[in-house]
Structure 1
Amino acid sequence: MFVSPPIPFNQSSDKDLLAYAVGAALYMPATRQTIAEDILSAKHEGLVSIVIDLEDAVGDQQVELAEEMLMQQLFLIASYVKIGVLAESQLPLIFVRVRAVEQLRSLLGRFGQLITHITGFVLPKFTPENGEAYFYEIASYNKTRGESSPMLYGMPILETASVIYRESRVETLLGIKRILDKYQSCVLNVRIGATDFSSLFGLRRSPDMTIYEIAPIRDCIADIINIFGRVDSGYVISGPVWEYFSNRERVLKPQLRITPFEEALGHVGRDLRSLYISNSMDGLIREVIMDKENGITGKTIIHPTHIKPVQALYAVTHEEYIDATSIISNNNGYLGVMKSQYANKMNEIKPHLNWARRILARSQIYGVLHEQQHFIGLLPGHEQVYS
């Protein structure tokens, strides 16, 4: 499949690499009793990162229980690693989504050695008012951590009314950016919470639509990208959750072409395409493609069947890689423009240079496909999907 396979990484890898590596981040409630067992058994093939949720996925009356169950699961993970039945290399990046600064502070005090298996915290409803306190706690831990303990990171979620309401948006986003710039060494991703945004307008996208077709959300995402997605900002932005995973009646015509599936997998490809369409996965694929086109890397997911499609779509094509390496290698002042090696486009050195650098960064984590290969070849076979 790969001319250049994905490189291995773990929570101690370079921050710039980890920012791209979060990828398809699978959310699960902290009340789930099998988190450690699922990791031990490698239940979810391709899993690279999980978010153990203490916030929206947990009822208000279950918070204490959820915290205790989180501690139990982390203890089990640490025990499996200690006795050698679970290798460190098998661990996904583990994040905890907290409810408030006070809970973050409390957990930092309670975790003890268990914290060595945590990559960071997801910070919900992040605003200029609460953001400084969140990152102060994370930065304070990093200053006092032991030499053998990895860095902790924060991933703020932009999802509040002050972010999406037009009259307060720019001021709020700039206030958030000032905080993130101050603590940039601790910021791994900037995440978009489209579900909370939608709720403020009483909206919910249908399986036939992407988030980019919901006008107020699209406009807000555009401004988030404008402020945090600039090359000189240095932030990786992650896409919002896709909510659908089961059968339903279609309204609009599906947009997955038959040809790429047949070329990649033969008659099995046709069956796989039909199955993906019947389970709303064509909407997910289309939205991830839109995410990529807008410079977004990675996505929040809520079902394990979303892991491989998201990861596969971020694999770099051979054509992208050849273009990117050609642009970078010819950035020596002797050429301004040249025909691509695929002879189907023009590559301009200066205008396309930043794009090329991002492609190479992505290629390390997601790999470079062989010339005749397609992301479809990385998808699970029809017997594995929704079984």
Structure 2
Amino acid sequence: MDKRLSPWNLGATLYMPATRLDIADAVLHGKIPGLRSLVICLEDAVSEGDIPQALQNLKRLLQQLNAAKINSGNNEWPLVFIRPRHPDMGQWLVENLDLSAIDGFVLPKFTLSSLPVWWDIMAGTHLCLMPTLETEEVFDVVQMRELATTLLSHPCHARIIALRIGGNDLMNVVSLRRPRNLTLYDSPMGYVIKMLVSVFAPRDFALTAPVCEHIDDHAVMARELSLDMAHGLVGKTAIHPGQIDVIEQALMVSPGEHSDALRILNSTQAVFKSQGAMCEPATHRRWAAGILERARVYGLTSEKNPDGIRLMPVSQHN
């Protein structure tokens, strides 16, 4: 897979309804500072009656993106994905539109039973996949283990950038909404995220964090992001440009973590003490590799300002 399509390059993935008329400006002209990836949504963010308008808007957008790609390439663009409403729409998009400038599809309501349906649509394309885990089956560890095992040996495996955790849909399954003053980890989603990490991360699948729909409450989102990072999630869904910088800061690496990671990967000692904690290269090596990759993409925080002063990315690991 192209290094540009690394899950670490997702950052704050901004969802934009396909009815919006300013998506081309966001992709081509940097209208949204710091945007690394976006999803053009044809599913929940678009009402049924607006689907024809959304598809016409998407067609015009693709014409703009394809023309710009021919003239300049797209290496400096954000990663661009489309979220179809269902497999039938995905099939229509593949058959009727030029998707050359698109990096992949976000697959809604993804389950083991929908895998062959989606693969029939996607196999003959260049598109990468981000399946979304957001149905009742996700609460069942046995079914998730079966899905993980199947994906690992399926030809789609090489095309999966990350699995997205659909927090709002999963809360809807249990008839709940996130409380305003609590993180998702204080709800049943805390169990779900822990279970999904324990099932998919050992098999080297990246997982992204659910959206925080409380747009103006960055304090709650910052608390939630610290837990996202503690669970090894690689990025977070955003629904407002104002959330992007908060998410980016959370993805930055502290100098202490970076120092520990370097020592763990370079040490010849079986165990050593660093910054008051035990470091054991045999068990911390995978963590250390992930820390250095995050530092390469997002840079380091300043120890003097824990809110995060952006420094240059760590050049020795580029």
Query: With structure 1 as the length reference, what TM-score do the two structures score?
Result: 0.75
State the partner residue of 1:326. 263
SS, match of residue 116 in structure 2: helix
Gap runs ≥5 in structure 1: 1-10, 143-151, 246-278, 380-387
Q: Is the partner of 1:157 in helix, strand or coil?
A: strand
Is the 1:308–1:378 Cα contact (8 Å) retained in structure 2? Answer: no
Match of 2:295 in 1: 363
Q: Which residue pairs with 1:199 in the alignment?
A: 172
Q: Does 1:65 align with 2:53?
A: yes
Amino acid at match of 2:193: I
Partner residue of 1:227 out of 199, 203, 213: 199
Q: Does 2:317 match 1:345? A: no
Question: What is the rounded CA distance, in whole Å, between the counterparts of 1:111 and 1:302 in structure 2?
Answer: 26
Rg bigger for which structure?
1
Please state if 1:313 is matched with 2:245. Answer: no
Distance 2:16 2:106 in 1: 13
Task: Name segments (4+ residues, structure 1) moved above 6 Å.
Answer: none
Post-superposition Cα deviations, 1:254-290, rounded to whole Å, max 9, x if no partner, equal xxxxxxxxxxxxxxxxxxxxxxxxx300111111110
* 1:315-367, Cα deviation, whole Å (9 max, x unpaired): 1111111100100111x4xx211122xx3322112121121111122222212
C-alpha distance in structure 1 between counterparts of 2:123 and 2:300, whole Å: 35
What are the equivalent positions in structure 2 for 1:22-41 lying under 5 Å apart?
22-41=10-29
Distance in 2 separating the partners of 1:47 and 1:95: 13
The alignment status of 1:239 with 2:239, answered yes or no, reads: no
Structure with bigger RCO (C-alpha 8 Å, 6+ apart): 1
In the alignment, residue 27 of structure 1 is paired with which amino acid?
Y
Counterpart pick for 2:81 among 89, 95, 110:
95
Residue from 34, 41, 60 that aligns with 1:46: 34
Corresponding letter in the other structure for 1:109: E
- Match for residue 159 of structure 1 among 134, 141, 145: 134
Q: How does 1:167-316 map to 2 (within 5 A)?
A: 169-181=140-152, 182=154, 183-214=156-187, 216-230=188-202, 233-245=203-215, 279-316=216-253
Whether 2:113 is the aligned partner of 1:129: answer yes
Other-structure match for 1:273: none
Contact 2:302 2:308 in 1 (8 A): no
Preserved contact between residue 271 and residue 278 of structure 2 (Cα < 8 Å): yes
Q: 1:14 to 1:78 in 2, by over 3 A?
A: closer
Match of 1:108? Answer: 94
Task: Tell me, in whole angstroms, the C-alpha distance in 2 between the residues paired with 1:310 and 1:290.
Answer: 12
Provide the aligned length of Structure 1 versus Structure 2: 309
Q: Is the 8 A contact 2:301 2:308 kept in 1?
A: no
Residues 226 and 350 (structure 1), Cα distance of their counterparts in 2 relative to 1, 3 Å cut? same
Q: What is the one-letter code of the residue matched to 1:307? A: I
Give me the TM-score of the superposition, normalised by structure 2: 0.91
Inter-partner Cα distance in structure 2 for 1:360 and 1:89: 23
Q: CA deviation at 1:102?
A: 1.9
| Structure 2 residue runs without a partner (length 5+) | 312-318
The alpha-carbon deviation at position 155 of structure 1 amounts to 0.5
SS in 2 for 1:368: coil
